[in-house]
Amino acid sequence: MKTFLHERKIDQIIIPTGMTTYLQTLDIAINKPFKDNLRMEINDYIENRMERNQHRNFVKPKLQEVVTWVKNSWEKITDSCIANAPRAGYLDKKYSFKDSAIAKHERFGPLILKEMESQEIHQEIQKLDCYNDVPEDDDMIVIE
């Protein structure tokens, strides 16, 4: 597989454990709220309307009931949920990275923010006038 991808100039990346949901925007902004809404519909059915047959076993819900759950769950996904999807995964660069779901990740968020801060400091140092006074190639000889 690696050869196949390399021949086609496709880079392969490894997503660290626990980061997939932070990098998949639809999971963050749309799928999770949809699934949460669907779970509420199912729980309501189980607690209030689930039927038993003559042997006291639960009867599976009718197809129309399941369709209604999906419809109700999807209708609760607002236009703003969908519009904010790029921001959730930090695909919309108009917003600060610090507001993204990735930056708020319990384990990796602080590490990423620290690395970004380090890079910003390094870039600022390079912009300073005094930094340009240091010759890149000097003929200094260190004698021990």
Of 85, 100, 75, nearest to 26 by C-alpha is 85
The model's confidence at residue 137, banded by pLDDT at 50, 70 and 90, is low
d(CA 134, CA 142): 17
Give residue 72's pLDDT.
Answer: 96
Q: Which of the listed ranges 28-37, 61-70, 104-113 does the model predict with the highest average pLDDT?
A: 61-70
Please state, in angstroms and rounded to a whole number, the distance separating the CA atoms of residues 116 and 122: 10
pLDDT given at position 133:
55
What token pair was written down for 124? 């600022």
- Cα→Cα distances 1→6, 50, 60, 125, Å: 8, 48, 43, 42
Q: Which residues pair with 58 in a beta bridge?
A: 52
Is pTM beyond 0.85 here? no
pLDDT tens for 81-118 read 887 777 666 556 677 777 777 777 788 788 888 888 88
Q: Residue 120 has what pLDDT?
A: 77
How do residues 115-136 score in pLDDT, each as one tens digit? Answer: 888 877 777 777 766 555 555 5
Q: What is the pLDDT of residue 70?
A: 96
For residue 52, list its beta bridge partners.
58
Report the pLDDT value the prediction gives residue 25, as an integer from 0 to 100.
74
- Contacts with 32 (C-beta within 8 Å, 6 or more apart), sequence order: 21
Domains in the chain: boundaries: 1-109
Count of beta carbons in the 10 Å neighbourhood of residue 90: 20
**Alpha-carbon span 16 to 96, nearest angstrom:** 22
Higher pLDDT: 144 or 47? It is 47
pLDDT of residue 144: 59
Q: For residues 91 and 84, is the Cβ–Cβ distance under 8 A? A: no
Has residue 47 got a pLDDT over 70? yes
On average, the pLDDT of the chain sits at 80
- DSSP H or E stretch at residue 119: helix 108-127
